[in-house]
Amino acid sequence: MSALAQTSWRPDGASDPLATRHGLIGAPVSRIDGPLKVAGQARFAAEVSMPGLLHAGFVYSSVARGRIKAIDTAAAEALPGVALVMTHRNAPRMKPPALFGTTPEAAGASDLPIMQDAEIHWNGQTVAVVLAETREQAEEAAALVAVEYESLPAVTAFAAAKAHAHPPESVLGEPAVLEIGDAEAALAAAAVKVDLTFTTPRQNHNAIELHAATIAWEGDRLTIHDASQLVTMTAATIAQVFDLDPKQVRVLSPYVGGGFGGKCLWDHQILGAAAARLAGRPVRVVLSREGVFRLVGGRTQTEQRVALAATADGKLDALIHTGVAAMTAHNACPEQFTFPARHLYAARTFKLVQQVAEMDMLANTFMRAPGESIGTFALECAIDELAEKLGADPVAFRRGIEPEKDPTSSHEFSTRHLNEAYAAGAERFGWAKRSATPRARRDGEWLIGMGCATGTYPYYRMPGGAARITLTADGRARVAAAAHEMGMGTATVQSQVAAERLGLPLDRVSFALGDTELPPSPVAGGSNQTAAIGAAVIAAHTELVKALLKLAGNASPLAGLSTDEVEGRDAGLGKRGDAARFESYASILRRAGRDEVTVQAEAPMPLELQKWSMHSTAAQFCEVRVSESTGEVRVARFLGSFDCGRILNAKTARSQFRGGIVMGLGLALTEETLFDERSGRIVNATMAEYHVPVHLDVPEIEVIWTDIPDPRTPMGARGIGEIGITGVGAAVANAVYNATGKRIRDLPITLDKLL
Amino acid sequence: MQRFEYHRAADTAAAIALAARAPEPHYLGGGTNLVDLMRENIERPRTIIDVTALSSAIEARPDGGILIGAGAKNTAVAEHRAIRERFPMLARAILAGASAQIRNMATVGGNLLQRTRCYYFYDDAAHCNKRKPGTGCDAVEGFNRIHAILGASPSCVATHPSDMCVALAALDAIVHVEGPGGRRSLPFGAFHRLPGDRPDLETALGPAELITAVELPAGAAGLRSTYRKVRDRASYAFALVSVAAALRIEDGKLAEVRLALGGVAHKPWRAATAEAALRGKPAGADAFRAAAEAELAAARPLSGNAFKIELAKRTIAATLSELAGARP
Amino acid sequence: MRFSINGADHEIDFDIRTSLLDLLREHLQLTGTKKGCDQGACGACTVLVDGERINACLALAVQYQGRAITTIEGLGTPGHLHALQAAFVEHDGFQCGYCTPGQICSAVGMAAEARRGVPSVVTADLAATQIALDHDELRERMSGNLCRCGAHNGIIDAVRQVLAREAA
């Protein structure tokens, strides 16, 4: 094995040395941007001031499909302060955005043309944008735009759409249908089995920050201060829409007020840019909360079947997970709910089938753990039901179906420690105190029950990321990547990692992000950002070491050493295992007569994913109290036990896990976007009637982790943004069953279902 | 939001005089509901008369009654010692409503005039007889899980969203109003209307009439009372069903019972049938359940809210049982 | 119209429809106060008026002339954080940071309510003169501030620590 492989992580080679290093890795460092955030000084997209700014008001279609027959903008245009009203009649000509996934840089949530014709494709589509001097004037004017529609027949009922359900071409690059053996035959022959139907509703991200953008043109150069989790792709796609060079579009997004998959490229940024160009003035777009529901898609609804057959000795003879997700003809988000079943459990036969049913509606999109969040709800409730039929403890039952390698791809796992996570979680939670018999515990009118479920989320590392490192003669490093901060603690964690890699104190390292003038970054999605940036920083660091050794020259104690023989330590470079051969960064640069040295490099392609099955797993434990009088469910305790590789910052990681779990409690108990199937219109487009959990809904949530490094990933870490939500729905539902004896297979578990 | 003229009223007479002559006037209290509705273009006043400078005094009377100025903030009422001690159900009902921030803004008068949270009332693209009389009701066959089971009409199945008003209904509060024609007092039960074929008319207030005070008569003072609210999350949500209950037990029998329901009708629902069924009866779970059955016999479910009938029965029984059981 | 914000007087004219929230954000560039729903349903816009927490989005600015308005900018600065701001950093009581100013202003207002003896809906004995702010009390009293990142545990820990220090 070459020395390089021993010291530098490669996707197909040896581990990143940081994976086993202590010091800053894993330290519970408080957020570097914390003081700015708590003092209200972090500037978000809607908070950039510009001279001559116009404010945008939006008018939304009230029909699901049809044509604009007439649109009267005269009253709106006559209002004082109104600069223009943009409709399909006067909007600049724009290309439809390239659909996400069709090219590496495509960010379009759908590939429908935006305000280019009179066609209406969903109830809530923008039909006019008003620009005015003040927000108040823009909104008053928007209300005065009168639209007449010619309605066309629309598919707005899931049942009708399901009649034409079909497998999509692929599900995020995976086959929509995957069969091993004859699962239906095995199911038919089995003595112990379950065959169950689960339904999950539409949900919306509802980040607290409203979608917003402050947009200015300077000639053919466009600047967008956006709330974005994909700045590089947004700039590329907006350039494509307006026929510009990507270099002519700059997207800045240093702070994002919550994303969860929702802060991507939607019509409002494109319409804002179009209107700004038409008006010749900068524009601020701040969608209303209703506007967010009308223009920004959420998680789609599904109907899923999980059927499991058990052998007498508690193994799985058949694992069937099939179902249908509502989608549109213009987007690419089939909600991969069968993904957990592809990797979680050993079974002799598999039948995994994803279908989509096309509806006339706003494009659905990725929302925290798309697929896995609701797929684990169905699968893990079914596992609980099967374990009960077998008379087995659900934790012990899962131990018995733990696979040795990936059950459908046959790849080795990079690492997998679900059993350890279950053991530690069960112990800490007091699982042994659970009664296997429902309704065994009560406190007055409150029935008490415990449930558990497995969570899982893949490791992803998207290609296309790069990073820049600037080392200065005063012994400081500035690391930069376009990247995104939506609350994950990106700058904090990346500074920790870079400081450890460079051998610098944390306060000597800064991390800049949220700007397309910095080296490109892939989407902050699929929980991939930490690994994506991490790999790019490793590549840049290798370049930096090369450059420093060159600068150091023959007069240095490092003379003659190659990059793979040295490491960053004590604010300089040193030979591994040799304390004497060392020179500080300051000394190297001073002697070379340099104030600073800057390197940039791209991350290598994610070859690790082709060789290993790479997944995080979790054991989620829940205790609920259910009122026997009213059916109200209160989550009393929750514990998540995670196997996600190396944890890089214990403080921010705990928060991210908890955050996923809290959103999972909403998924389990309260959240539902109400889609009126008569009109195709969302009727609860407010935070008052879309119920995210409030403080009183959230118990103390305990989080533990294995902290076992994944030898195949940068820093030994796997992303943790999404796994928290997975398994939570099932853990809650299984606890509700343990409390009440009622199996609820239709989310959310509102009290009416328990009366 | 449509443009309007803003006036801050110095006294009640000036407010009423202005409301009587100004174009499309609307009184403004804390704004917690009205400002939202104006922003949604559902309320479109041309004249706003800010009445928050008018009486906010809370006067605890020696006879046990309390007079609350219409401008009193929800928080001020809920924290007032006399109200907490004499009418705990009222304090608890207020505290069950909205959030602390909103309770710090919202006035008592404004609370009585809250408008429904029906999804279709709030959506300008939907049909709603309350918002635009004669256009129909999208809730009757739409999402109506949160809608009325009692006293509804084919025109409107909306519910009244207030918690405070449910307690006021149970307490036989008196609403003092003043208008161009002078002063009058309305029993609480006569203040809000059932929808009938005019769901746009929600109260008995005449043109330019202003709520000046709400009076809590001494009658219910000191009764053991509480308020239980059942909703879709633990806090900060409107009621699916709520129960305001008060009782006095003498010699094991219910000497006095007061019961009102929220979340079930176009107005706070005084459960007179259940009260009558219980008066003089021995306190007990069976009696409570039977009374709840009697009250809900008139309930008519919609496609999505049949559960509310059983929920209301159970919540009534649980709340009364808790009150009765808590008696030493 | 004259406004007193964070101890400074502002003389300013604006469209009468302007909310206190938009006055702060769009006219005075005090953007620490956040807009999350503009409907009184999320609490991100919480500010203090004469020490009481309110939702600035539901407040017509014109109604608040001459009142003492305190925003997050008036509580502390990154260099000189208010005790609650510092506790939020220490306990990681936020992720994206967007609901955070509202949570912190709300907690300041809540502490004042608690000192006054204001009960909450989870207070067992409404007649009590002293109410201990246990976990349920804190969670109920903060429920008017939504957090979508799920920082609830850290928020309550931060508030609890500062209140306990105050009491000590």
Q: ipTM of this predicted complex?
A: 0.99
For chain B, the first-to-last Cα distance in angstroms comes to: 55
User: Looking at CA atoms only, how far is residue B198 from chain C in angstroms?
Assistant: 27
Which are the contacts of C134, defined by CB distance < 8 A and separation ≥ 6? none
Q: Is A722 a catalytic residue?
A: yes
User: Nearest-CA neighbor of A144 among A196, A91, A203, A81?
Assistant: A81
Q: Which of C37, C77, C88 sits opposite A686 (nearest CB)?
A: C37
Chains that touch A (3 or more CB pairs under 8 A): B, C
What average pLDDT score do residues A265-276 get?
98
B96 and C121: CB-CB below 8 Å?
A: yes
A617 and A657 share one domain: yes
CA distance B119 to chain C (A): 14
**Looking at the predicted structure, is the pLDDT value of residue A2 above 60?**
no
> Token pair of A477, please?
């490093």
CATH number at residue B19: 3.30.43.10
A243 CB neighbour count, 10 Å cutoff: 11
Nearest to B88 among C19, C106, C126 (CB): C126
pLDDT at B327: 38
Average pLDDT over residues A22-43: 97
Residue of C nearest to A206 (CA): C148
Measure Cα distances from A697 to A303, A576, A640 in Å: 27, 52, 17
pLDDT digits (tens, 9 = 90+) for A661-697: 999 999 999 999 999 999 999 999 999 999 999 999 9
| Residue B261: inside a domain | yes
Range(s) of the domain holding residue C60: 2-75
Contacts of B286 (CB under 8 A, 6+ apart): none
Element counts in chain C: helices (H) and strands (E): 6, 5
For the cut 50, the answer to whether the pLDDT of residue B328 exceeds it is no
Contact A270, A94 (CB under 8 A): yes
Suggest the residue from A696, A720, A723 to mutate for an interface test with chain C (most C CBs closer than 10 A). A696
pLDDT tens for B202-232 read 999 999 999 999 999 999 999 999 999 999 9
Q: Which two tokens stand for residue A83?
A: 């600069």
> Under a CB-based contact definition with an 8 Å cutoff, are residues C58 and B35 in contact?
yes
The partner residue sitting opposite A688, judged by closest CB among B39, B117, B307, is B117
**Concatenated DSSP letters for A574-608?**
EETTEEEEEEEHHHHHHHTT-SEEEEEEEPPP-TH
pLDDT on residue A9: 84
CA distance A495 to A479: 8
- A28 Cα to chain C: minimum distance (Å): 10
Same-domain status, C110 and C163: yes
| Tens digits of residue pLDDT in A433-450 | 999 999 999 999 999 999
CA-CA distance, B242 to B265, in Å (whole number)? 11
Name the helix (H) or strand (E) containing B288. Answer: helix B285-296
- How far is residue C30's CA from residue A47's CA, in Å, rounded to a whole number? 9
Any CB–CB contact under 8 A between A444 and chain B?
no
User: Is the minimum CB–CB distance between B132 and chain A shorter than 8 Å?
Assistant: no
Task: Inspect the interface and report whether the beta carbons of C96 and A688 lie closer than 8 Å.
Answer: no
Looking at C19, C40, C75, the residue that finishes a domain is: C75
Cα(A21)–Cα(A244) distance, rounded to whole angstroms?
Answer: 46
**Smallest CA–CA separation between C163 and chain B, in Å?**
18
- Kindly state the average pLDDT of the residues C34-60: 98
Instruction: Tell me if chain B has a CB within 8 Å of the CB of A677.
Output: no
**A361 within a domain of the structure (yes/no):** yes
How far apart CA A528 and CA A542 sit, in angstroms, is 21
* Interatomic CA distance for residues A58 and A287, integer angstroms: 8
Average pLDDT over residues A284-297: 98
pLDDT in tens, C103-158: 999 999 999 999 999 999 999 999 999 999 999 999 999 999 999 999 999 999 99
d(C-alpha A597, C-alpha B298), whole Å: 82
Nearest to B143 among A62, A674, A695 (CB): A674
Are A620 and A742 contained in the same domain?
Answer: yes
Residue A347's DSSP bridge partners are A316
Mean pLDDT of chain B: 97
pLDDT category at A518 given cuts 50, 70, 90 is very high
Number of residues that make up chain C = 168
CA nearest to B125, candidates A127, A688, A119, A157 = A127
Separation between Cα atoms, residue C101 and residue C76, nearest integer Å:
11
Which residues constitute the domain of residue A20? Answer: 3-30+463-605
Taking CB atoms and an 8 Å limit, are A629 and B39 in contact across chains?
Answer: no
User: In the complex, which subunits touch C with 3 or more CB pairs below 8 angstroms?
Assistant: A, B
A451 and A469 fall within a common domain: no
Alpha-carbon distance B240 to nearest alpha carbon in chain C (angstroms): 17
pLDDT at position A5 over 50: no
- Picking from B327, B112, B313, B311, the residue whose alpha carbon sits closest to that of residue B225 is B327
Segment A341-359 mean pLDDT:
98
For residue B158, what are the CA distances in angstroms to A255, A276, B147, B241, B268? 41, 42, 5, 13, 12
Assess whether A126 and A51 both reside in one domain.
yes
pLDDT digits over B66-105, tens only?
999 999 999 999 999 999 999 999 999 999 999 999 999 9
The average pLDDT across B309-319 equals 98
pLDDT of residue A12: 83
Judge: C126–B35 Cβ closer than 8 Å, yes or no.
Answer: no
Q: Which domain holds residue B232?
A: 223-325
Cross-chain Cβ contact B233/A669 below 8 Å: yes
> The domain spanning residue A267 has which CATH number?
3.90.1170.50
Instruction: Using the predicted structure, report yes or no on whether residue A403 has a pLDDT greater than 90.
Output: yes
Beta bridge partners of A59: A128
SS3 state of residue A309: strand
Element housing B224 (H / E): strand B224-231
**Angle formed at CA A345 by CA A341 and CA A347, multiple of 5 degrees:** 95
Same domain as C89, residue C48: no
The answer to whether residue A165 sits within a structural domain is no
Q: Which residues of C touch A134 (CB under 8 A)?
A: 15, 18, 26
- Split into its structural domains, chain C has a count of 2
Which of B233, B307, B321 is most worth mutating to test chain A (most A CB atoms within 10 A of its CB)? B233
Question: Each residue of C99-117: pLDDT tens digit?
Answer: 999 999 999 999 999 999 9
What digits encode the pLDDT tens for the residues A240-254? 999 999 999 999 999
Q: Look at residue B190 and tell me if it is in a domain.
A: no
Angle at C138 between CA C132 and CA C140, to 5 degrees: 115
Q: Residue A630: its chain B contacts at CB < 8 A?
A: 230, 311, 314-315, 318
Instruction: Verify whether the Cβ–Cβ distance C118 to B78 is below 8 Å.
Output: yes
Do both A724 and A744 map to the same domain? Answer: yes
Task: Looking at the structure, tell me whether residues A570 and A657 fall in a common domain.
Answer: no
Q: Is B3 on the interface with A (CB under 8 A)?
A: yes
**Listed residues C75, C99, C126: the one ending a domain:** C75
Nearest to A342 by CA among A390, A300, A379: A379
User: Does residue A708 form part of some domain?
Assistant: yes
Give residue C167's pLDDT band: very low, low, confident or very high (50, 70, 90): confident
Domain count, chain A: 3
Return mean pLDDT, chain C.
Answer: 97
* Residue C115 sits in the same domain as residue C50: no
Q: Are residues C24 and C99 in the same domain?
A: no
Among the partner-chain residues A139, A140, A630, the one whose CB lies closest to the CB of B311 is A630
Beta-carbon contacts below 8 Å between A and B: 84
- Taking the C-alpha atoms of A688, A691, A697 and A699 in order, what is their torsion angle to the nearest 10 degrees? -130
Residues A625 and A579 grouped into a single domain: no
CA–CA gap between residue B95 and residue B18 (Å, rounded): 34
Last residue of a domain, which of C34, C55, C75?
C75
Tell me which residue in C85, C86, C143 faces A695 most closely, judged by beta carbons: C143
One domain, residues A64 and A90 = yes
CA atoms of C163 and C168, how far apart (whole Å): 9
Domains held by chain B: number: 2
| CB neighbours of residue A118 within 10 Å | 17
pLDDT digits (tens, 9 = 90+) for A194-239: 999 999 999 999 999 999 999 999 999 999 999 999 999 999 999 9
Cβ contact (<8 Å) for B234 and C39? Answer: no
Query: At C121, which CATH number?
Result: 1.10.150.120
Gap from B40 CA to chain A (nearest CA, Å): 9
Subunit contact C63:B28, Cβ cutoff 8 A: yes
CATH code, domain with A647: 3.30.365.10
A270 in helix, strand or coil? helix
Q: Which of B289-293, B299-303, C162-166 has the lowest mean pLDDT?
A: C162-166
The Cα–Cα gap between A83 and A76 comes to 10
Same domain, A724 and A624: yes
Chain A contact present for B172, CB below 8 A: no
For residue B115, which residues of chain A lie inside 8 Å, CB to CB?
none
Q: Classify residue B298: in a domain, yes or no.
A: yes
The dihedral sign for the CA sequence A167, A169, A173, A179: positive
Q: Label residue A10 by pLDDT band (50, 70, 90).
A: confident
- Kindly list the residues from chain A whose CB atom is less than 8 angstroms away from the CB atom of residue C89: 30-31, 34-35, 38
Domain identity same for C9 and C69: yes
Both A65 and A26 in one domain: the answer is no
Burial of B10 (0-12, 13-18, 19+ CB in 10 A): exposed
Residue B194 lies in a domain: no
In a domain, B102, yes or no: no
